[in-house]
Amino acid sequence: MLINLPYAALRAFEAVVRMGGFSSAAEELGISQSAVSQHVRLLEEWTGQRLLVRGPRASHPTDEGRRLAEAVGEGLGRIGSLCNELRNRSNNAQSLSISCLPGFAINWLFPRLIRFDQAQPDMSVSISTEARAISFAGGEADVAIRYGLGRYSGLYVRRLLGENLTPVCSPELLRSDPDLRCPADLARHTLLVDDLKPAGGRLPNWEFWAAQSNIMLPRPARLRRFGQSNMVVQAAIEGLGVALGRDALVMDALADGRLVRPFTLPPVPSDYAFWFVCPETALDRPAVRAFHDWIFAEATDCDKFN
């Protein structure tokens, strides 16, 4: 039996493979990128195998690395599930902690959560909106709504909301000068940019939208970048520019008229989606199962939004 396993290095390596790079793994683990790199290098020396193919934009596991990362992810998931089970024996069974990005929380979850509260008045719900991916093994949350391609090994993963992309702006901006009637008019307007972090695949950004729409994206009069999606949406509502709307984040504002679509181009399907993620055994908890069933009922019609 192996003893003295390099647990810190194994955890860092699994994070690099799952997140697709050293920077994202470092952010999740709360350590420096150089520390993550050192952990991976030490693990390769310890195993005597090359585990990663390093690239300028992303790193990919070798066959041996993929097998090791899957084993570590599965092991951490089992440990996390058992820790949560033990913790829940002493904690209030009617409590639930949820992790999701700020944009999703503010623009989609919060406006609907009152209905869950009304259906489950005895349940205590806490929401964490940290941008980093949480660790179920560390007991940081019971469930998470994650944004990306749905590649979360060793966990229960179910697609919650798909995504289409369409430019949006305030009604006042649409009525003002200069004109905003076609994509070429963006050259005279401010483009609001969401600084999305890569999660694999093609980023759902302005360049992706233009390429999929077969148009030439003009150089805008100004760019304004934001680190959080909810700030992009709010800036568009305030008339500060044109944003690339993502269904879940703008559907309510479009429905009540705070935002409008300036162009008649059809929405562009995104590679990304929102995913319900939790340890497999977490669904055995009544609180988790209740939230799971409620949020999917809420999302039933949202994938049809256009």
SS3 annotation, 262-302:
CCCCCCEECCCEEEEEECHHHHHCHHHHHHHHHHHHHHCCH
Distance, in Å, from the CA atom of 79 to the CA atom of 259, rounded to the nearest integer, reads 45
- Give the chain's end-to-end CA distance (angstroms, integer): 56
> What is the 8-class DSSP label of residue 99?
E
- Reply yes or no: is the peptide bond before residue 178 cis, omega within 30 of 0: yes
Find, among 161, 180, 141, 132, the residue nearest to 250 by Cα.
161
Q: Write down the CATH number for the domain with range 92-162+272-304.
A: 3.40.190.10
**Which of these, 243, 140, 153, 139, lies nearest to 200 by C-alpha position?**
153
> Residue 90: phi, psi to the nearest 5?
-100, -25
Residues 6+ apart with CB under 8 A from 75: none
pLDDT at 303: 56
d(CA 261, CA 174): 9
- Contact between 13 and 72 under an 8 Å Cβ cutoff? The reply is yes
CA-CA-CA-CA dihedral for 149, 153, 159, 162, to nearest 10:
0
pLDDT of residue 306: 46
Specify whether the CB–CB gap between 229 and 246 falls below 8 A.
yes
State how far the Cα of 249 lies from the Cα of 107, in Å rounded to an integer: 5
pLDDT in tens, the chain (306 residues): 445 677 788 888 888 888 888 877 777 776 788 888 888 888 888 888 888 888 766 778 898 888 888 888 777 666 666 666 555 554 545 789 999 999 999 999 999 999 999 999 889 899 998 777 777 776 788 999 999 999 888 899 999 999 999 999 999 999 887 889 999 999 999 999 998 887 788 999 999 999 999 999 999 999 999 988 999 999 999 999 999 999 999 999 999 999 999 999 999 999 999 999 999 899 999 999 999 999 999 998 665 544
Residue 147 near residue 109 (C-beta atoms within 8 A): no
**Same-fold call for 92-162+272-304 versus 164-269:** yes
pLDDT digits (tens, 9 = 90+) for 187-224: 999 999 998 887 788 999 999 999 999 999 999 999 99
Separation between Cα atoms, residue 21 and residue 59, nearest integer Å: 5
Task: Report the distance separating Cα 130 and Cα 147, nearest Å.
Answer: 13
Q: What pLDDT, on a 0 to 100 scale, did the predictor assign at position 160? A: 96
| Sequence ranges of the domains in the chain | 7-78, 92-162+272-304, 164-269
DSSP state of 134: P
Q: Let me know if domain 7-78 sits in CATH 1.10.10.10.
A: yes
**pLDDT computed for residue 2 by the predictor:** 44
Sheet holding 268-269, edge to edge: 222-226, 190-194, 242-246, 164-168, 268-269
Q: What is the pLDDT of residue 232?
A: 96
Cβ proximity of 168 and 243 under 8 Å: yes
Global pTM reads: 0.71
What tens digit of pLDDT does each residue of 27-57 get? 777 678 888 888 888 888 888 888 888 876 6
Q: According to CATH, what is the number of the domain 164-269?
A: 3.40.190.10
